[in-house]
Amino acid sequence: MNTDERNILLKIAYDGSNFCGWQRQPGSRTVCGELETVLSRLCGINIKLDAVSRTDAGVHALGQQASFKGVFGLPTDRIAKAVNDALAMDRLQRVGEIAIIEAKEMPPDFHARYSSKGKRYIYRISDSAEMNVFRRNYCYQVGRPLDVSAMRKAADFIAGEHDFRCFMAMGSSPQKSTVRKIFEADVRREDEDIVFSVAGDGFLYNMVRIITGTLVETGLGRRSPEDMQKTLASLDRSEAGHTAPPQGLYLKEVFYTSPPFTART
């Protein structure tokens, strides 16, 4: 029997299509709400999760991280299976919308969010002319060919430490600073998709989706790659592109040690 308070870190994947985002809200179905309900029942205590990223409605996670503390009986190495079984669709389809990939015990002073050093998002875009009903929740279907090399050139200007105010949604709550450090920003074709991958020490509200919208406009030839510098320097949201839809965005991973990134040259 465990009588000591444990500090548990969960690595979580979820399909955000049918959730009103991560953060618990009364009357809404949220990833955090679903997980807290199941965890509280399995552990027999009231559990509150602290996650690294409060992903928006429709946004997915491949490696969200969230931690909680408590005194409870369920052994740490059985948490993932117990939660995943409880969330499974049925007896044959043993998987649900949320899956715990890993659960591990951390030192008492560890906190999923405050201890993190940064995170990586990816954004999936399809430029196929054919719209695919099966992918509507999983990528941004632009419907027209994109110039990937122009998008990559534009993304190069994002890397480094900048004031990213131009990529913050209008009406966001005030920030102490709008300066962030981007470790890596890259655009590549992967199978039939175009994937924008961006790692940084932090992101402003809607920052990845607004950068993606700006990159898509670059790929369509409506902006030149070099425009990205002017847009950044403007510090003006209206100079940046449209906000790409939430469906293509995935929280890929969270860093707990400073990642050994070197900006591409």
Contacts with its own copies by CB under 8 A lie at 13-15, 60, 84, 89-90, 92-99, 131-136, 138, 140-141, 143, 242, 244-245, 247
Return the number of the residue (16 or 200) whose C-beta is nearest its own copies.
16
Q: How far is the CB of 11 from its own copies (least distance, A)?
A: 13
**Catalytic-residue membership of 109:** no
* Cα gap 136→111, rounded to integer Å: 35
The CA–CA distances, whole Å, from 180 to 23, 163, 167, 207 equal 23, 6, 11, 11
Q: How far is the CB of 25 from its own copies (least distance, A)?
A: 21
Q: Is the dihedral of CA 169, 201, 122, 185 positive or negative?
A: positive
238 SS3 class: helix
Return the number of the residue (131 or 169) whose C-beta is nearest its own copies.
131
Q: How far is the CB of 97 from its own copies (least distance, A)?
A: 6
SS (H, E, C) 127-182: CCCCCCHHHCCCCEECCCCCCHHHHHHHHHCCCEEEECHHHCCCCCCCCCCCEEEE
Kind of pairing, strands 98-106 and 118-126? unpaired
In 3D space, the residue among 176, 235, 173, 167 whose CA is nearest the CA of residue 206 turns out to be 167
119 DSSP 8-state letter: E
Return the number of the residue (17 or 172) whose C-beta is nearest its own copies.
17
> Do 36 and 26 meet the contact criterion of CB atoms below 8 Å apart?
no
Catalytic residue among 4, 15, 50, 56: 56
Task: Find all residues with CB under 8 Å of 184, minimum gap 6, and list them.
Answer: 120, 159, 197, 198, 199, 261, 263, 264
Return the number of the residue (78 or 117) whose C-beta is nearest its own copies.
78
124 SS3 class: strand
Q: How far is the CB of 186 from its own copies (least distance, A)?
A: 22
Q: How far is the CB of 99 from its own copies (least distance, A)?
A: 5
Return the number of the residue (41 or 94) whose C-beta is nearest its own copies.
94
Q: Which residues are catalytic?
A: 56
